Amino acid sequence: MKQIAGFRIVAAALLLMSALSCVQLSRGGIFAEDRNQIFLSYFSNETFYRDVEFELTEQITQEILSTPGLYLSSKEGAEVFLTGRVVSVRQTVLSEDPQQTVTSRSTSVTAVIEIRDARTGDLIKKKRLSQRGEFVSTDSAVLNAVDLDAARSQAFSYLARDIVRELEKEF
């Protein structure tokens, strides 16, 4: 009988301690609720590469849409304006085969972003970000232009991820 009573006391103590250590989950996340409605305008292009501004803006759009807690918004309903410009694109051939066909390429992209408060127009954050992508062919016999553009796509994808992460950080 004493053993059962002792077990009940230990069980009650464990239950009480576990109840005190519970964490209450509440609504919210890593984005402030008053800054999770984003208006994204197309980036401008200060390079000689055609359509890079559209490629980066589309990657940012995909990243925002796939990020829980962030929402694309119209200009009127936005809490934050995200704008930017592509200032540098560098594509480098890393290697060629004996017939001088490119077998690997590196692309680096640099953009300057601005995050502004939609209500006041005040600049919240301005940042210069760079990212790099690489493509190395494993079979040069089936290498084509689409494969070589993988380095460029990778660079834009990584840069879009970094830009959206800037929305997570404290302003």
DSSP secondary structure letters along 85-138: EEEEEEEEEEEE-TT--EEEEEEEEEEEEEEEETTT--EEEEEEEEEEEEEE-S
135 touches 150 (CB < 8 A): yes
Torsion angle, CA of 134/70/66/144, rounded to 10 degrees?
-30
Query: In the prediction, which pLDDT does 151 show?
Result: 77
Query: In the prediction, which pLDDT does 165 show?
Result: 92
**Number of domains within the chain:** 1
Tens digit of pLDDT per residue, the chain (171 long)?
Answer: 555 555 566 555 555 555 444 443 344 455 556 678 999 999 999 999 999 999 999 999 999 999 988 999 999 999 999 999 999 998 877 777 777 777 777 889 999 999 999 999 999 999 999 998 877 766 655 455 555 577 788 899 999 999 999 988 665
CA distances (Å), origin 102, targets 48, 70, 150, 154: 21, 40, 13, 17
CA distances (Å), origin 2, targets 6, 10, 13: 6, 12, 17
CA distances (Å), origin 170, targets 17, 112, 113: 35, 18, 15
Q: What are the residues facing 82 on neighbouring strands? A: 40, 115
Range of the structural domain that residue 25 is part of:
2-168
Q: State the CATH number of the domain containing residue 150.
A: 3.30.160.150
Query: In the prediction, which pLDDT does 152 show?
Result: 83
- State if pTM tops 0.85: no
Q: Does an H or E element contain 45, and which?
A: strand 44-45
Enter the tokens of residue 1. Answer: 């009988």
